[in-house]
Structures are given as structure tokens and as C-alpha cells.
Amino acid sequence: MAKMASKSNAKGKNAAKSTSTETPWLDNYAEGVDWHTPIKGTSLPDMFDASVAANGDSPCTDFLGAQLTYADIGYMADRFAAGLLDKGFGRGHRIGLFLPNTPFYVAAFYGILKTGATVVNFNPLYTVEELEYQARDSMISAMVTLDLAQLYNKAHAVAETGVVQSVIVCPFCDILPTFKSLLFRLFKSSHLATAGTINEAPSTIHWRDITDNEGDFKQAIISPDEDIALLQYTGGTTGTPKGAMLTHSNLTINVEQIIAWSASLKFQKERVMGILPFFHVFAMTTVLNFGIRTGAQMILMPRFDIDQAVQLIRKSKPTIFPGVPTLYTALLNHGGLKPIDMNSLKLCISGGAPLPNEVRREFENFSGCRLVEGYGLSETSPVATVNPIVGLEKDNSIGQPVSNTFISIRSLEDSSKAMPLDEPGEICIKGPQVMPGYWNKPEETADTFTGEFFKTGDVGYMDKDGFTFIIDRIKDMINCSGYKVYPRRIEDAIYAHPAVDEVTVVGIPDEYRGEAPKAFIKLKPGKTVSAEDILEHLKPKISKLEMPEEIEFRDELPKTMVGKLSKKELREED
């Protein structure tokens, strides 16, 4: 087990040291990591095929106890690719994945890419209206889903509008262990879409029919730097859904950057926990593509359930654990885990939302494993910065830029102007993992770049050691009497209270100040605290201007499917 390293100021293998404030991280880079290491992009099918060839007999997926080898998944992907080409789908087409984490997702993802087509991810929780909007915008030709009613019925409804040509339906029971499959058919058959509905729909293609071949086909010739592998939809900095175009090189380079950053871990046959959904780019890179590239076994969960997650951790003994802060909090609060259950862990990485210091420290003390916070966006494939796995560690930091990546803090008034160290501004990113632009949105693409740098919409600063610190998102800032108030600063102060489990701060209308902060708090089990207690706790930590106008306690706070605390619903309420 990789124990936490002590804090030190170890320098990485960087031949060229920083001589200016533009690259201060070079003087204090992560131990054993070379920022200048050359990384060349390749196609995702080439990466996949190389791993299948090298790891054919090794386990690739563990889905609720049913295991498939790399050879199994490779054969599934080849047969799916051959079937797609036979149906006329291939280069120039976009195919949607409306799937939870299952072996079907893995095989379909790489199978689609083998034809030269582009993958479009769809959130399984989307409504029909959201599905239709994204399907229309991305102009997909087909959508892959399961025969579960809650998924298929929505995909079928979109196909009925004429937006999607075909719905490819995967049989859920076929990938379950034999006994679980039998139980599902006996006791949960109502969760399946009716056979009549599926069989009578002219747009529906059965997985069995499309994969009824020997997997022989001519694989597409892919230009890694030019061909778009994935349209990853994101609200970006404006809230308007748009597809970030990620090339094969963007995605494969980002995996290599993660591997380079983790050089001290000596990856072998790892077991990666796949709780985070693959439709989210964080899981796609740190679980799916990283898992395939390193020949790891992926432990897949189709939906998050804390009790099942605890059982899987005990049974499967994961070594790599990507998660979001609320997931680590849930594990700590569950009570069913013991430190010995976590002794297999080599690396835990947190992303998707700010990681409170209290959660990081408590989880590290409990597990004995370093929990590092990373940062990125859909537009950056996503990883742009990570905290060191060994060496120097700084509270509240999102870390240093990964190899070949530049972080520049730009003026909020003039994005062409770089800010001095320790001065706040917009975090901007340049690197080989940054998207070329948004799908069919040239104006939005132009607006989100300043020169070669992508503008993240996050406000932060960089210190003398090249560590970046996020203050908040530009769109989350609260305008109090003309002054900028950052919700994250208030949240961090509230998290320091020992009774607080989760907190979200949003701006609410205020007749006097225009906007004022409101805190929504979930307490730890068995804890009782009043609003007055919280305000008293905050007095020495934040200014009067930042003090919440209201504090509301709730049993649960709204979250996205990835597990991030969501402000959207709370804003709408107020």
C-alpha cells in the first residue's frame, strides 16, 4: 500500500528551470515528473487494440460479479464496429451513448471509434426534451441504450420525432452473472421495456443482430490530431449546452499526462473503481481510457449506491479510486468501512468539485492513502492540474499543471493581460489536451479563447511555487453592494465546523444589497447545530459582507448524477 508521503520540497526532473513568473512550477515540480516529457497523441482504437493484444487473458471489466477479459471486450468491440459499418454507419457519423457504466459502454465506445465515427455522450438521467435537444444539436445518426424501460422509452420517444435514425438496444440481463440475471427476470422484469414495444419499433436495432458477425472489417484510418473522437456536452461558462470537440490526441495525451504524473506509483495490474459515470469526461479519462491504457480491471457500477459501493470496495480491493468530494464524504459517514478495507489503495483522486480540506484530511487519516485534488473541464479532456502524489502539498490548491500544460491567470477586465503571482484573475489553460473548439459554434469558440489559452470561467491565483488556487466560478460570484463575494470562501469556512457534512452557498435577491449569500447546510448524522451557532463560528473567519443572510438546514442537498453538489436547483427555488 502506498502510504502518504511526508511534506517536502522535492524537485522534479526539469532540465530547463523557470526564469520568469510565467512558469513558476518548474522550480518546484512534482518529484520524478518531467514537465517537458514529450507526449505524442495516438488514436483511441490503436490504444485499445494494443492493450487487448497485450492483456488478452487479463480481466477488463467486473460488472456486478460478471467478469470479462480484454479479449472478450475486444471481440465485442470488433463485432459492433463491423455491424455498424454493415448498417452504413461510419466516418462522418455521430453515434450517441445513452448508457450507464456497463461492459456494453466499453465495447460500444471503442467499436464506434474503430469505424471512424464520433461518440456523443448522453446523461442517463436526461429528460426526453434534453435528449432531443442534444441529439438534434449533435446530429447523431443512432443512439445506443439498454432495454431498461427508463432508458429505452426515452430513446424511443426521441426516435419517434425523427431526430434519430436508429436506436440500438443492448440486453441488460445478458451481462449480469447467471444467477442475478435469473433473479432480475423473475422479480424485476417490470423494469424492462416491453418486448412488443421494442420489436415493433422500426427504428430499433437489437445488439444481438448488429453484432451477429465474426468481427471482420476494415478499420478506419484516423488522424489523431484532426479527427474528433468525442462530443462532450457542457454548459461551459455561459450555461448554454454545447459540444466540446475532443480529438483522439486530446484524449490519449491526457491519459499519458496522468500516467507521467503518477510515475512514482509503478502501475502494474491495477483495479480501478468505476463508480463515476462514463458519460462524464472525468470518469471517461481517469477510469475508462486510463484503465484500458494501463491494462487495468475496471470495477463497474451502473448507478451509485453507497451500500453496494462499500461491498465492492471490500470485495474487489481497488487500487485506483477516482471520485468526487461527496463520494469520499459518503464513504466516511457510512460506518461500514474499516481502514483495513482500504489498504489496497495506491491513489485516490478527487475532481469535479472543490475538495474541502476537512474531507481530504479525514479520508487520508482513515485510509492511509494520499487523496489528491485535480482540476479540469470537459474542454480540457479534462485534467489540467493535479496536486503532487508525493512531495509538496498545499491546502486548498488544485495543484500544478500536468506535463506540457500552461496555466495563466488573466485579468477579469482584459483577458490579454496576465496577472502577477498571488493576484486573482481568470484561470486560462493552454496544452495538447485542450479542445479545438465547440461543435458548430464558431462564435462561442472564439469567445472562450484568448490567443491560444482557453478561458475557464474560474477565478483563481497562482503562487510562487506554481500552485493554483480557485477562488470561485465567475458565474457563481455574488454581487453584494457592488463588491464581489465568492461562495467557495464562505463554504470553506462553514466546512471547518465539525458538525457540517455538506454545504452550498448561492446568491439570493436582497432589496438592500442587490444580492446576498444564503447557505444550505446538511449536518453530519446525529449532530445538532443552530443557525446562530454557524454565524458565531463564521465571525472570525469571514467579513461581515460575506456573512450569509440566511442559513437553511436540509436532510439532503441536490447533486448531479456525478455526485457534485448542484447550485442550480437552489438558485431556482429562491
H helices of 35-148, in order, are 44-54, 70-86, 103-114, 128-138
For residue 282, the number of C-alpha atoms closer than 13 Å in the C-beta half-sphere is 26
Q: 203: closest CA among 156, 134, 146, 148?
A: 156
Q: Which residues of the chain have pLDDT under 50?
A: 1-12, 15, 18-19, 236-238
In single-letter form, the type of residue at position 277 comes to: P
Dist. CA 67–CA 264, nearest whole Å:
29
Check residue 4 and give its pLDDT. 43
Check residue 239 and give its pLDDT. 54
Contact indicator for 34, 18 with CB cutoff of 8 Å = no
For residue 162, the number of C-alpha atoms closer than 13 Å in the C-beta half-sphere is 0
Q: What is the pLDDT of residues 124-151, one digit of tens each?
A: 988 898 899 999 999 999 999 999 999 9
Q: 460: closest CA among 328, 354, 560, 381?
A: 354
Dist. CA 289–CA 110, nearest whole Å:
10
Q: 319: closest CA among 367, 283, 356, 285?
A: 367
Q: 319: closest CA among 257, 266, 384?
A: 266
Dist. CA 384–CA 96, nearest whole Å:
26
Burial (CB count within 10 angstroms: exposed 0-12, middle 13-18, buried 19+), residue 214: exposed
C-beta atoms surrounding 195 within 10 Å: 9
**pTM, entire model:** 0.86
DSSP tag of 209: H
CA distances from 205 to 36, 120, 201 (A): 48, 18, 9
H or E element: which one contains 248? Answer: helix 248-261
DSSP tag of 69: E
Dist. CA 288–CA 282, nearest whole Å:
9
Q: 278: closest CA among 254, 302, 295?
A: 302
The domains of the chain, with CATH numbers, are 24-40+256-270+288-432+443-473 (3.40.50.12780), 44-210 (3.40.50.980), 477-573 (3.30.300.30)
Q: What is the pLDDT of residues 365-374, one digit of tens each?
A: 999 999 999 9
CA distances from 162 to 167, 236, 289, 345 (A): 11, 28, 33, 48
Q: 438: closest CA among 571, 243, 264, 285?
A: 243
Check residue 189 and give its pLDDT. 87
Dist. CA 166–CA 453, nearest whole Å:
39
Q: What is the CA radius of gyration of the chain?
A: 24
Sign of the Cα pseudo-torsion (107, 109, 110, 111, in order):
positive
Q: 244: closest CA among 256, 261, 232?
A: 232
Q: Which cell is 485 given?
A: 463575494
Burial (CB count within 10 angstroms: exposed 0-12, middle 13-18, buried 19+), residue 18: middle
Contact indicator for 398, 470 with CB cutoff of 8 Å = yes
| Most distant CA pair in the chain, distance | 71
Rounded to 10 degrees, the C-alpha dihedral 73/79/85/87 comes to -120
Dist. CA 415–CA 400, nearest whole Å:
21
Instruction: Using alpha carbons only, give the angle 196, 89, 69 rounded to the nearest 5 degrees.
Output: 80
CA distances from 189 to 42, 100, 168, 170, 173 (A): 43, 18, 20, 15, 10
Extended strands (E) in 468-499 = 468-473, 478-480, 483-485
Dist. CA 370–CA 262, nearest whole Å:
12
Q: What is the pLDDT of residues 253-294, one digit of tens each?
A: 999 999 999 988 888 889 999 999 999 999 999 999 999 999
The whole-angstrom distance between residue 280's C-alpha and the CA centroid of its chain comes to 5
H or E element: which one contains 230? Answer: strand 228-234
- Reading phi first (left if > 0) and then psi (alpha if -120 to 50, else beta), residue 405 is in beta
HEC letters along 15-58: CCCCCCCCCHHHHHCCCCCCCCCCCCCCCHHHHHHHHHHHCCCC
